[in-house]
Amino acid sequence: MDRKIIYWSLFVHGPWEMYLAATTQGLCYVGSDHKGFEELRDWVQKKFPQHQLEPDDQRMHIYADQFAEYFQGKRTKFTFPTDFYGTPFQQSVWNALNEIPYGSTHTYSEIAEILQKPKSVRAVASAIGANPILITVPCHRVIGKNGKLTGFRGGLEMKEKLLDLEKAPSNAKG
């Protein structure tokens, strides 16, 4: 019987530290050191209870290399495979997030409008909060209607630093 494994590694690049995790199909989780390894462990137990976590820096190298390029300002999009699951609505929200250009921001209401569900702002926010792959699916590019930074699993300080890195405006248009 094949063991079901989620491989992980702690990625460190300058001040940036985050946990990367992947199945054999692709990256499935990115978490900040804000909440530590326990967040990854708890997430795997909840979402993939039949899987075991196994550290493997070598296997995670493909992901770490692209994150390093991103933090060096040499990469604006990730090209490695991903392997993550959500409800059809969550998937639609995450797909919309992937369309936000590097260096830009959108509001939660703009994402709801893009999805042609203008009254679903809270549901959009909930789906964004459930995004398992920080940065790769750029939920940090979503801000409040008033231009303020709002919830982010990695913490608002990390969100601000990511937007600064991308030189994204901190105010939404319209």
- What positions carry a catalytic annotation? 139
For the chain, the 3-state helix, strand and coil shares in percent, each to the nearest 5, are 35, 20, 45
- Token code pair at residue 116: 């042609």
- Token code pair at residue 115: 């999805």
Residue whose structure tokens are 């509001």? 107
Q: Phi then psi for 140, rounded to 5 degrees?
A: -65, -15
- What residues have CB less than 8 Å from 174, skipping those under 6 apart? none
What's the CA gap between 21 and 30, in Å, rounded?
6
What's the CA gap between 84 and 82, in Å, rounded?
6
CB-based contact 131:85 (threshold 8 Å): no
State how far the alpha carbon of 150 is from the alpha carbons of 23, 70, 134, 145, in Å.
30, 23, 15, 10
